[in-house]
Structure 1
């Protein structure tokens, strides 16, 4: 069975044959065409050969091989925000300022990733994204007696945050045991961030109804370092996988009245399992959960130094993978948000190509 795209964040199929998950446990194949007694089919992998392949090959990009992986990802999220500055006369009746907003966000990311095998157990990776974002906010003019809604929208596009990563396979397990992979990823701040884009007032009949960004940011604005540990356990006909990682976002002085900002770190956990439909096609399901910790504004006064509560971002993952040939495959994944802070839906299309 193929193990390609059976878990979030790796393309395992590039370095394994279609049936290398657990060759010792696979039942002998019976050919429909008669074979001479005592002579094995030429294209059938014998147990000794299968064991040798398992012992000498890992789950990363093979030595001196280069994988090019273009991808296209779409994300959509919507939320309703209610802000009330008022006093209560009786329960459920408030007098004051009530601001209700409906926010919608669309993000489209096209990325080019390259993976190169230094050895059979060590690979390097680079990823360059191009991001297009659009935000729409529907609200009503504040402090004005009106029932008309106002749409405030803005969009932006450009290079996102470029990433680089190292992946090292820690072990070469016996059949039935798990592969463990150590990962180290660095994210830059090459994209335009929210502190760099200009803001402008939104007017309606000469009345200021809000503010908007002149263009949407394409980057986070902070360098980040993410070590993580991945396991892959082939158990024919399924493959179990999981990953745990921690992301450090580095403090930065953004200038102006804000000063130093220490963004919240991330703790991420994902797990799931994949099934081999046939020798070329597989299906997977999993769950990804990220805890985002508090953000601190260190140069603001105590009354202004707002520390956001930690938030939980959970996504249910469904994946599909098909191997067209030894050098080309297709991976499709669908993420469905299960917490309030998660995007409503994420759809990602990847096509790994082995160049050499």
Structure 2
């Protein structure tokens, strides 16, 4: 009887332990399932959305990527110039001219990116520009019938730059993905200072145009900022804030009068840029996005003196569509519509990022 009692006790303890273990296993399984469900609250990013974020933010999931970009910008300006005075508050006496400027800028940019660590990415950008500008003026000798025009064009290297991006904080349920960006731009393009303004039509002295067009700023610059991305199923929200500072530089000639040197120091005004946008994935390969970008330009300085009318504010509304051509190659298109008088009328861009 005593042996049976001991055996019964041992069996009871074994059954109790098995039941307890089963309860713990069920609790662990429930906990794992809960964690998986919590992780799945953030939808997986499709290839199409990642291609958008590669342009607006930074992705650290590939060691190397190369991108070939193309953009076309068009602008036109018209200006009525009066040289004289009003008699009796109604009759204008003097010279009248109407000046028009139309410009087209085609930029081809090669970008290489290297993800050094899961948090650090380096990139190099080299642009090549083709610019053509048409100058038109009419109104010589008080006549609005006399019209003259000429085209100036140039193709050359633009200002190359090198930058880095560092992930400060990864995205979770309560905060966005935060990346710090910095960039240094070198004046590898043709500078816009010291370009002579000449008269090209002897019959119309109103038409005066530059001998050549610039392809760069002529100054070193440094920029820094942050970009943020937050997943909110089914959308992905992104924003960025950037600041650019231009360093002063002395030039042997900053004037526009032929055969006359005018040395001086130039410093362009600091620039602030804010952009906001949202992207949606239609399917695995196709997505579209909307964004708005606004820039503020402070006054430029010549010989440490601020120049009036050199500050500006631009606003651009952007529409974008991306399509994954292959697993590694995508096509990113964008259309920017200028909303202020200082902005290009429109800008169309195509980029082809290839991620290794």
TM-score band, normalised by the shorter chain?
Answer: 0.7 to 0.9
- List aligned pairs for 1:92-171, cutoff 5 A: 93-140=91-138, 142-143=140-141, 145=143, 147-171=145-169
Structure 1 pair 295–99 and aligned structure 2 pair: CA distance change class (3 A): farther
- List aligned pairs for 1:30-49, cutoff 5 A: none
Greater relative contact order (CA < 8 Å, ≥ 6 in sequence): 1
Query: For 1:181-238, what per-residue CA distance to the aligned partner results, in whole angstroms no more than 9, with x for missing partners?
Result: 1000111110111225554431234x64433223221111111111011001111210
> Could you tell me whether the CA contact under 8 Å between 1:248 and 1:265 is conserved in 2?
yes
- Name the residue aligned to 2:56: 10
Tell me how far 1:246 sits from its aligned partner: 0.8
Residue 297 in 1 paired to residue 302 in 2?
A: yes
| Structure with the higher fraction of residues in helix conformation | 2
Aligned match for 2:252, one of 246, 251, 255: 255
Query: For 1:95-126, what per-residue CA distance to the aligned partner results, in whole angstroms no more than 9, with x for missing partners?
Result: 22333211100000111100000011110000
Residue 60 in 1 paired to residue 57 in 2?
A: no
Structure 1 pair 320–90 and aligned structure 2 pair: CA distance change class (3 A): farther
Structure 1 pair 245–8 and aligned structure 2 pair: CA distance change class (3 A): farther
Bigger Rg over Cα: 2
> Could you tell me whether the CA contact under 8 Å between 1:5 and 1:320 is conserved in 2?
no
When the two structures are aligned, how many residues end up with a matched partner?
302
Tell me how far 1:309 sits from its aligned partner: 4.8
- Name the residue aligned to 2:338: 337
- Name the residue aligned to 1:280: 285
- Name the residue aligned to 2:76: 78
Cα distance in structure 2, aligned partners of 1:177 and 1:298: 46
- Name the residue aligned to 1:229: 226
Task: State the TM-score, normalizing by the size of structure 1.
Answer: 0.79
Structure 1 pair 274–132 and aligned structure 2 pair: CA distance change class (3 A): same
Cα distance in structure 2, aligned partners of 1:6 and 1:179: 15
Provide structure 1 residue ranges, at least 5 long, that are not aligned to the other structure: 13-58
> Could you tell me whether the CA contact under 8 Å between 2:250 and 2:264 is conserved in 1?
yes
Task: State the TM-score, normalizing by the size of structure 2.
Answer: 0.79
Provide structure 2 residue ranges, at least 5 long, that are not aligned to the other structure: 1-44, 254-261
**Range with bigger deviation, 101-110 or 217-226:** 217-226
Structure 1 pair 352–8 and aligned structure 2 pair: CA distance change class (3 A): closer
Tell me how far 1:61 sits from its aligned partner: 4.8
- List aligned pairs for 1:183-332, cutoff 5 A: 183-195=181-193, 197-205=195-203, 208-256=205-253, 257-298=262-303, 306-332=307-333
> Could you tell me whether the CA contact under 8 Å between 2:115 and 2:121 is conserved in 1?
yes
Structure 1 pair 153–88 and aligned structure 2 pair: CA distance change class (3 A): same
Query: For 1:18-68, what per-residue CA distance to the aligned partner results, in whole angstroms no more than 9, with x for missing partners?
Result: xxxxxxxxxxxxxxxxxxxxxxxxxxxxxxxxxxxxxxxxx3353xx1101
Which SS does the other structure have where 1:195 is aligned?
coil
Structure 1 pair 61–8 and aligned structure 2 pair: CA distance change class (3 A): closer
